A and B are shown apart, each in its own frame.
Chain A
Amino acid sequence: MSARQHHKWIAPKRLGYAEISAAVSDPIQRGGPGRAWFIALLGILPLVLATFIAVGAVLTVGIGLSGVNTTVVWGFSIANYVWWIGIGNAGTLISSMLLLTRQGWRASINRFAEAMTLFAAAIAGIFPVIHLGRPLYAYWLAPYPNTMELWPQWRSALVWDFWAIASYILFSLIFWFTGLLPDLATMRDRAQTRTGQVVYGALALGWRGSARHWAVYETFHKTMAALAVPLVCSVHSIVGLDFAASLMPGWQESIFPPYFVVGAMYSGFAMVVMLAIVIRWGLSLQSMITPAHFDAMAKVMLFASIVMTFSYATEWFMAWYGGEHADRTVIGYFFTGDYRWLYFSLLFCNCLVPQLLWFRAVRLNLWLLAAIAIVINLGMWLERILIVWNTLSHGYAISLWRTYHVSLYDVVILIAPLGLFVLGFLVLARILPIVSMHEVRQLAHREGAAA
């Protein structure tokens, strides 16, 4: 916090309620998209197109397009799935945990963190389907009366994933829309065109901001937050169980579910920091997203980095202490095997680099913070692909040991969906308030900035 700043979470000395509404809604209702927006859109359109081509290709040709083989039967699809769902988990987790712990500063970041959840979880949902091998039968995962008299196999991790992702996306949508409702009323009341009035009016459902509305709203919103925390933990625990419920060395570990949850929070916070930096610049929200916000988020990343490091160490220790030969061999393979350089990069990205966040100067330098956030997300993706590769390449049967060879399709489905994610935000930023106006008003009132 600079000496010039008067309030911790609100940058200017005075930020009235009208200014808050204007700062958030005017870029949508009164300003055009601007040049940066069009450049970004043009830049990501090829990626969006590539995503559709890659998905179309795998649906037509089959998963032979990917580098999987008879030993390493999982590949980029699974790693990408875990990575995206991890990012997707963090938005709702951050938003709800900060609400329950009464961290008023969440007001500036919760809306786009929740939107991040929706987009990331939706993208994550693509991967298990395109990796099914027979994606046309994906609907067999749902229990429905059918003439074949078939039922889902409830003991299968795939079925757990289906319910976890479906429930989580729909839950996050309701949580996000509830928080959006009062802001949609603001948008309705500020709309200057007939279309704007009708569309925002219909979406706002007639919200009047009555004291009774607020009382019910707050009860529901807090209850949702209280449900969201265990839901998020259970969703990513189920992702961890996809591995832990198997019989493979290096996967069958009881630490996997919590270790996956922390990993999700870690990469998710890194993604929120990235988004906050870009959105703050793109929409000129310096008054509401302050250095103190970045300081707080950087501290959470640092904490998560330490917990991740501790989890890796626990994994190594338990393999040694457990004494199982295959487990010990797999850990040895981490450090000396075919993927060792990737493993060293993972440790560098996830454990070493974030230690820079101990320094206040680093936490307040947005360029460094953005670089660290990218490095963390890279490291977390490496972690997920290595969980898949190391164990599958080095299982119990020595005659089956093989390595993975990356194909062009793999590279495309790794990079191209990022375009889809950015497209989601570009569209969202043009139609809906990207910062929660009513919560920032409340924050400004509490901080004494609105008076």
Chain B
Amino acid sequence: MGKRVGIEVSLAIAEAAKMADVDVIAAYPITPQTHIVEHMAEIVANGDLDAEYIPVESEHSAMSACLGSSATGARTFTATAGQGLELMHEVLYVASAMRLPIVMAVANRALSSPLNVWGDQSDLMAVRDVGWIQIICENGQEAFDHTICSFRIAEDNRVLLPVMVHCDGFYLTHVVEPIEFPTQEEVTNFIPKFKYPLPLDTSKPVSMGCFAPTFIYTEAKKAQEVNILNSKKIIQEHWDAFGKAFGRYYHPVESYRTEGAKTLLLTLGSFGETAMTAVDKMRDEGKSVGLLKLRLWRPFPYQELRKAVGNAENLIVVDRALSFGGCGGPAYSEVRSALYSEKNHPKVVGFVAGLGGRDITVTEFENMVKRAPQIANTGAENEYEMFGVRE
């Protein structure tokens, strides 16, 4: 067994990547970066990890360098946040389509303008469609665990996809939490060094990311889609193995006190911890309220979500991002769509809350539960509301 350490979550993520014995880290070190890559640089400079640290000139270059290193079969890690993730955007599609098992920690932050770097999931939602496996963490331990476990998922020959490990900026990345560290031996046994099946190799040349005219592009995209859809059961397989090895079990949708609940809250990321406290309080007061936490964002866990929602009458989806002029919260839109075909689906209400790092407290989750039925009964085309906005 390892030990329990009080550590800033960003540093813990870097320590996880170190324990994963990564070969290459390519990162751009300037705002809105976090301590993740700063600490990785220290680890490599101190000789505590035998790896190449490539300090590049932009986030676009960071992801491009990751493509190259991953294509040679090197275990590759990077981290970014907010605007940095946006600058990577076009290269993210290349990583997934080329099936390169890069692991990237993302500190979720607001996007300009106005300038704001605090906790927000606008960056996360903007990369929804890039073809990466996307896991959303609720606390520091999860961020540490998923950084390690994601290498095992990404490098599985049946998967071979890049993975984003999302952690709310500041709420997770900049706080000190107690985190269980496994031993190096346990981690090494869990994620042994892998061999990319078709790496860049001068003795057996291959070309990656080639030109695909109209006669083959559709087939390429179909193959990519089938691959990420099939990854869902393999992700669960590895999460189960992680649970057996380290005692913490993870699922695409986590349920908290949902037994017989008429109203369910659904959150992504660090909202979950506050919402649990709110649910405890409301349950103590005899209210029929439970909580769902969406951990796996891509591939989207349709069956698991439907099962977890069960016979609830109201479902309140709390987004920390806004799709302008569209559906309100992106998660709200997807969840509502996922339940559309169900015979007795609940009324789904969306709140967009906590933008730009604004705190959402226990009382505010209680207020959402009170407010939701009023919105649901308006019959408005989009039953969502920006929560806590001053009128």
Chain B binds chain A? no
Binding site for B on A (CB under 8 A): none
Interface residues of B (CB under 8 A from A): none
